[in-house]
């Protein structure tokens, strides 16, 4: 068996930027082969592939709209092709991370279109992409779903987004129950505010928001993607095989 065939294989959605990118790089650093997805910025994806490959692993970038369930069967075929290039038929880890959120959405102004988009990408896509990929996952595999501290702390404009992430928290516990017989663990990582492009980069680029978050964080600053990606990668490591059905906050200590 070649070294590549012995390596674990991860699938990370939304791996071209932010938290997903850091997760891809952290897994690559740990010797995991990675298949990750991007949505519309292939140039970012190419840069992530090149950077992660420098750790000596195989890395594949596949386009995916995580909100379009009708495209998941075709995506599965592309995953099978990538696995075949790795000399494998199955993978080990799934990180449901992809997400978008264009603005804060007060109840008074959130539109049906916005709500449908958030539902499709952040919740429906997580359920059906997992369903689609489960036949390709090894028994004993791991799933991490990415949620948010905002399911626990309410703030203005978060109703639509945080409710769907709250649904992901519940979904994850049920997934853990249903997949237990296959020894597949399912956990949630819930980041606090992270300085990425998310929500128009508001946490990173708006000094008032940045300061507000830092002031409410025990460690006194806003997180960067590299505060979250390594935590996801370490949760997938063998040492954490008995952690199951849990929601783990990775937020530097917020309103504990
Ligand atoms: N940033 C925060 O403060 C924060 C806090 C808590 C939780 N989260 C959660 O963490 C996850 C990652 O957020 P982030 O801050 O890393 O975001 P980000 O920097 O904006 O990156 C988003 C990633 O998701 C992809 N993506 C966007 N829309 C997609 C779609 N419709 N289908 C498939 N992929 C799509 C993007 O691909 P392209 O590059 O091709 O567009 C990119 O790879 C999200 O689930 C978010 O809800 C974020």
Q: Is 161 a catalytic residue?
A: yes
Whether the model clears a pTM of 0.95, i.e. scores above it, the answer is: yes
pLDDT one-digit tens code per residue, 206-252: 999 999 999 999 999 999 999 999 999 999 999 999 999 999 999 99
State residue 143's pLDDT score.
Answer: 98
Assign 210 to helix, strand or coil.
Answer: helix
53/23 Cα distance (integer angstroms): 14
Q: Which of 36, 38, 123, 161 is catalytic?
A: 161
242/240 Cα distance (integer angstroms): 6
State residue 6's pLDDT score.
Answer: 87
pLDDT one-digit tens code per residue, 42-70: 999 999 999 999 999 999 999 999 999 99
Domain spans of the chain? Answer: 3-250
pLDDT one-digit tens code per residue, 156-210: 999 999 999 999 999 999 999 999 999 999 999 999 999 999 988 999 999 999 9
Q: Can you tell me which atom of ligand 1 is nearest the CA of 193?
A: 3
Residue 71 CB less than 6 A away from ligand 1? no
Q: Can you tell me which atom of ligand 1 is nearest the CA of 42?
A: 40
**Which is nearest to 174 in space by CA: 138, 203, 145, 210?**
145
Catalogue the long-range contacts made by 68-73 (C-beta closer than 8 Å, 24 or more residues apart): 68/120, 68/125, 69/120, 69/124, 69/125, 69/128, 72/128, 72/129, 72/132, 73/132
Catalogue the long-range contacts made by 207-212 (C-beta closer than 8 Å, 24 or more residues apart): none
Out of 25, 35, 39, mutate this one to test ligand 1's pocket (max ligand atoms within 8 Å of CB): namely 39
**What CATH topology corresponds to 3-250?**
Rossmann fold (3.40.50)
Confidence grade of residue 102 (pLDDT, cut at 50, 70, 90): confident
Total residue count of the chain as it appears in this document? 256
């Amino acid at each position: 068996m070649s070294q590549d065939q012995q390596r674990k294989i991860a699938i990370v959605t939304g791996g071209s930027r932010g938290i997903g990118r850091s997760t891809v790089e952290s897994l690559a650093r740990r010797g995991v082969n990675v298949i990750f997805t991007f949505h519309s910025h292939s140039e970012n994806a190419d840069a992530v592939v090149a950077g992660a490959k420098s750790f000596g692993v195989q890395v594949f970038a596949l386009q995916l709209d995580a909100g379009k369930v009708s495209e998941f069967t075709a995506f599965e075929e592309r995953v099978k092709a990538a696995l075949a290039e790795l000399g494998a038929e199955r993978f080990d880890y799934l990180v449901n991370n992809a997400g978008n959120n264009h603005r804060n959405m007060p109840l008074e102004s959130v539109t049906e279109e916005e709500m449908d988009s958030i539902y499709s990408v952040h919740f429906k896509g997580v359920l059906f992409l997992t369903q689609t990929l489960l036949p390709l996952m090894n028994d004993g595999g791991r799933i991490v779903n990415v949620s948010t501290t905002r399911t626990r702390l309410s703030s203005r404009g978060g109703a639509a987004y945080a409710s769907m992430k709250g649904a992901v928290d519940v979904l994850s516990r049920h997934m853990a129950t249903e997949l237990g017989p296959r020894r597949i663990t399912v956990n949630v990582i819930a980041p606090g505010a992270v300085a990425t492009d998310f929500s128009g980069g508001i946490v990173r680029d708006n000094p008032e928001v940045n300061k507000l978050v830092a002031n409410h964080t025990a460690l006194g600053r806003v997180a960067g993607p590299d505060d979250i990606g390594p935590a996801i990668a370490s949760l997938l490591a063998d040492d954490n095989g008995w952690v199951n059905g849990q929601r783990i906050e990775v937020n530097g200590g917020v309103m504990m």
